[in-house]
Amino acid sequence: MNSFSNSAQNFFFQKVEQVRRRRGQLRDTHITLAHGSGGKAMRDLIDDIFIKNFDNPTLSQLEDQASFDLASLMKQGNRLAFTTDSYVVDPLFFPGGDIGKLAINGTVNDLAMSGAKPLYLSCSVILEEGLSVENLRRVAESMRTATQKAGVQIVTGDTKVVHRGAADKLFINTSGIGVIPKGVDIAAHNIQPGDAVIINGELGNHGTAILIARGELALETDIESDCQPLNDLVETILNVCPNIHAMRDATRGGLATVLNEFALSSSVGIRLDEESIPVREEVKGVCELLGLDPLYLANEGKFVVVVGRENADTVLSAMKSHPAGKDACIIGEVISSPPGVVLLKTIFGAERIVDMLVGEQLPRIC
């Protein structure tokens, strides 16, 4: 005969379940190989660092995948946008941001450039043995803040640990999905001669901030990375003008690379006005000192908008009304010839070709 009454059995099993579901607490100060073993150390790491910061109803189920109701997604649009990116920035922390903030905003912005409303992200991390747990916690907290600001959720992820020396402290991959509203068709092939080219603010701040943060140069500035989510600004633009021809964030390779990609994709030319391109004097100074060109410097909160000239003033006004676009300006125009070429009208009145970036000005900037 069972020595437990039914009520005692229920109480016992409830307590067992509570203990089983109790979140682990990470007590180690540095990452070890055990944190990638699949055992209790790994569960404690996931619970105390990631679940604690990213918690939401979908993630808390701890399945190997996240599932969504298609009907609710279709109410927001008729097409799905999907993107993925990996982040290996050096150093992990820099003025204006860190690798975690970068990973969230970078993927959110890639989705937003299609006009999509970003919704859900995945997060996979590769941790090097010996990484400070405190630094990892700071990164996770930064990611939580970034997701809240962008209005997205991390719903699934993965953790791997590699031997000391097999990685550089921390690598992050984030993938994301969003829904594109009906009637929105943003792509480089839509660009036409006569279109206006608009940027939402100063160029080169991110690349310069990373360079200074590495401490390899005896330079002091107050330049911070422009790392920020752009999806709310994009929504503001689309509310006043759904007929945006093309958008792209000017990350690696900077403005020059984006415009060359546009020119080649649409077989048009693009003429820029150097005087109209916003660059901080401090950024210009660093570029002159090191022989860099701000047109090729990376940005993490700047994007190019190409729109019909008849809608340019409306779009520009909407951008200026938003904090992420308060310094927006028209910097050039699309021309029919020469096709596939970006030209720059210099402050001296001459023209030069702005070619695709060859090589890498600054490695490991995102």
Residue 108's beta-bridge partner residues? none
At 320, the pLDDT band (50, 70, 90 cuts) reads very high
Tokens 């920020």 sit on residue: 228
Per residue, the 3-state secondary structure of 332-361, as one string, reads EEEECCCCCCEEEECCCCCEEECCCCCCCC
DSSP secondary structure of 47-107: IIIIIHHH--TTGGG--SS----HHHHHTT-SEEEEEEEEE--SSSEETTEEHHHHHHHHH
**Per-residue b/e over 216-229, b at no fewer than 16 CB within 10 Å?**
eeeeebebbbbbbb
Task: Show the domains of the chain with their CATH numbers.
Answer: 24-180 (3.30.1330.10), 188-353 (3.90.650.10)
Give me the pLDDT at residue 220, please.
Answer: 78
Sheet holding 153-162, edge to edge: 79-87, 170-180, 117-128, 153-162
Tokens 């910097």 sit on residue: 331
Give me the pLDDT at residue 10, please.
Answer: 60
Helix (H, G, I), strand (E, B) or coil at 172: strand
pLDDT digits (tens, 9 = 90+) for 209-219: 999 999 877 77
Helix (H, G, I), strand (E, B) or coil at 308: coil
Question: What is the Cα–Cα distance from 313 to 148, expressed in whole angstroms?
Answer: 31
On whether the pTM is more than 0.85, the answer is yes
The residue-averaged pLDDT of 345-362 equals: 89
Give me the pLDDT at residue 215, please.
Answer: 84
Share of the chain above pLDDT 70, in %: 94
pLDDT digits (tens, 9 = 90+) for 91-141: 999 999 999 999 999 999 999 999 999 999 999 999 999 999 999 999 999
With 90 as the cut, is the pLDDT of residue 223 above it?
Answer: yes
Question: What is the Cα–Cα distance from 15 to 241, expressed in whole angstroms?
Answer: 57
Q: Among residues 105, 71, 128, which one has the least CA distance to residue 176?
A: 105
For residue 102, which amino acid is it?
Answer: L
With 50 as the cut, is the pLDDT of residue 289 above it?
Answer: yes
